[in-house]
Amino acid sequence: MSTYFFGDTAALTGRTLRHVTRSMDTIITTAVMPIAMMLMFVYVFGGAIETGGVRYVDYMLPGILLITIASGISYTAFRLFTDMKSGMFQRFQSMPIARSGVLWAHTLTSLVANTISLVIVVGVALLMGFRSGAGLPAWLAVAGILLLFTVALTWIAVIAGLSAGSVEGASAFSYPLIFLPFVSSAFVPTETMPGPVGWFAEHQPVTSIVDTIRDLFAGRPVGDDIWIALAWCAGILVVAYVLAMATYRRKTA
């Protein structure tokens, strides 16, 4: 790793951020789909779903936030794929810069872009009646979990962007990640699901993350869920990072 890793990464992040700011429609598009889902679930299906007296917009917002992230990272894969096909990576290879700085630049850009999308979605939720009894520490904990989840999924996007054979393939990997919250506690209690589906929903990563964020928003004790959520996020991050770096070395060898 170059001794100038941080400076190289900052310069490369500035480059990718400029691409995002010149095309703000990507951030808006990322936020539009989760907002449309939120409107549909709250105003169409919400009255038919029993959530134990909790307002449905409060109940389902954590799941919508995770869908926002899963939707947003597809643009990271797209930008990486574009850089690969344009020869940009080969150009960087000929320069005295930290090799991993290129990938970290895309990761940090994803973090910034998804944070903006999440703020937009929370703003719309507040207009729809979302209210939280959480104090500042709980809000900071929610932010930390969402940022960690974003970084973890972004490294999955890095693998897709480096490995894809087409633009469509670079983005399509995010579809299963967008779908995953639907088979969790994000929109309906898992105990209402059929046996095998309910078991899967109860034990997959999204449920522990959603339940933790929901409890934090409500000002309730989070119990062991927060440690399970953090373990899932950290585990996904480590595995995805190792695989992404291996893929990068293979592609640029």
- List, in sequence order, the alpha helices (H) in 164-224: 167-172, 174-179, 195-203, 205-218
Confidence of residue 10 (pLDDT cuts 50, 70, 90): confident
Separation CA 85–CA 2 (nearest Å): 25
Rounded to an integer, the average pLDDT of 147-174 is: 86
Q: How many domains does the chain have?
A: 1
- Rank 17-31, 67-81, 85-99, 132-146 by mean pLDDT and report only the highest: 132-146
What percent of the chain shows pLDDT beyond 70?
Answer: 87
Rounded to the nearest integer, the mean pLDDT of the chain is 85
Q: Cα–Cα distance between 57 and 109 in angstroms, integer?
A: 29
> Residue range 190-207: average pLDDT?
92
In angstroms, the CA 164 to CA 80 distance is 10
* Residue 14 confidence (pLDDT) above 80: no
Contacts of 149 (CB under 8 A, 6+ apart): 66, 69, 209, 233
197 confidence band (pLDDT: 50, 70, 90): very high
- Round to whole Å and give the CA distance between 75 and 30: 9
- Residue 4, pLDDT above cutoff 70: no
Range of the domain at 233: 5-252
pLDDT(56) > 70: yes
Helical axes 225-252 vs 136-163, angle rounded to 10°: 30
Please state, in angstroms and rounded to a whole number, the distance separating the CA atoms of residues 101 and 67. Answer: 27
Confidence at residue 8, expressed as pLDDT on a 0 to 100 scale:
66
Share of the chain above pLDDT 90, in %: 42
pLDDT band at 1 (very low <50, low <70, confident <90, very high): very low
201-229 average pLDDT score: 92
Q: Residue 62's pLDDT is what? A: 95
* Cβ within 8 Å of residue 114, ≥6 positions away: 30, 68, 69, 72, 73, 150
Q: pLDDT-based confidence at 229, cuts 50/70/90?
A: very high
Q: Give the helix ranges, DSSP H, for 44-181.
A: 56-86, 88-93, 101-127, 136-163, 167-172, 174-179
* 73: nearest Cα among 210, 209, 171, 207: 171
- Helix 25-40 / helix 101-127 crossing angle, nearest 10 deg: 40
